[in-house]
Chain A
């Protein structure tokens, strides 16, 4: 069984500040990990994913995440927040069978960016 915990349902940062969204996972097998972004009344867009290989993964819009097995974490970061980053962010985990079949999502973190 797999699960995802996102710490902090709401995160607020100032424009230009560091963004850090936390994600911890639980998996009985080496996981595939994903971060998705959702804008209001829209579907999900993939930001980045970790499957195998390099543990620091770079995604779109300047986001990156680091897979830390010892900490069972996959935190999402961005050095400098932009107003357009305000959205809901979901961390997700799946088992490495077909790369992204049944995703288990975290409860989401709403990111607010203030001037």
Chain B
């Protein structure tokens, strides 16, 4: 099946610094990727939709200047948490939409990235 990889899987940073998380589709091209945030023991909340070659679409209440998303190629989307604060600590998960083949439209999820801001 299609594989989506996130890096890093865990990151610890100091308050005020910026952190970049990568989401790669390893064996397929993804024109659309999604970024989710998951708080402990809670569900996934969609943050934004990342479209290759265009600006991301953010969900209501998500600060676009805080969570910068770049989708520069058909296999890579990045999420940068700028000026991180402890309340940004969370599990961030990306998914990529398969646009070709028998399972067109199906979403494949990365392993997630746990961010801890000290």
B49 at the interface (CB under 8 A from A): yes
With an 8 Å Cβ cutoff, the count of chain B residues facing the other chain is 26
B111 at the interface (CB under 8 A from A): yes
In the complex, chain A residues 21-50 whose Cβ is within 8 Å of any chain B Cβ: 36, 41-46, 49
Contacts A99-B105, A100-B105 given; does A107 touch B43 at CB 8 Å: yes
Contacts A101-B97, A102-B49 given; does A42 touch B112 at CB 8 Å: yes
A98 at the interface (CB under 8 A from B): yes
* C-alpha spacing A106/B38, complex, angstroms: 12
Nearest-neighbor residue (CB-CB) of A104 within chain B: B46
Contacts of B114 in A (CB 8 A): 41
* C-alpha spacing A41/B113, complex, angstroms: 8
Mask for A74-109, Cβ within 8 A of B = 1, else 0? 000000000000000010000000111111111110
Q: Could you tell me the distance in whole angstroms from the C-beta of A38 to the nearest C-beta in chain B?
A: 9
Nearest-neighbor residue (CB-CB) of B9 within chain A: A41
Contacts of B105 in A (CB 8 A): 98-101
Q: Could you tell me the distance in whole angstroms from the C-beta of B11 to the nearest C-beta in chain A?
A: 13
Most buried by A among B43, B109, B112: B43
In the complex, chain B residues 31-57 whose Cβ is within 8 Å of any chain A Cβ: 32, 34, 41-46, 49
Measured CB to CB, the residues of A under 8 A from B are 36, 41-46, 49, 90, 98-108, 110
Provide a sorted-by-A list of 30 A–B residue pairs whose CB atoms are within 8 angstroms: A36-B109, A41-B91, A42-B112, A43-B4, A43-B109, A43-B110, A43-B112, A44-B44, A44-B95, A44-B109, A45-B109, A46-B106, A46-B108, A49-B106, A90-B43, A90-B44, A98-B97, A98-B105, A100-B106, A100-B107, A101-B32, A101-B105, A102-B46, A103-B46, A105-B43, A105-B44, A107-B42, A108-B41, A108-B43, A110-B41
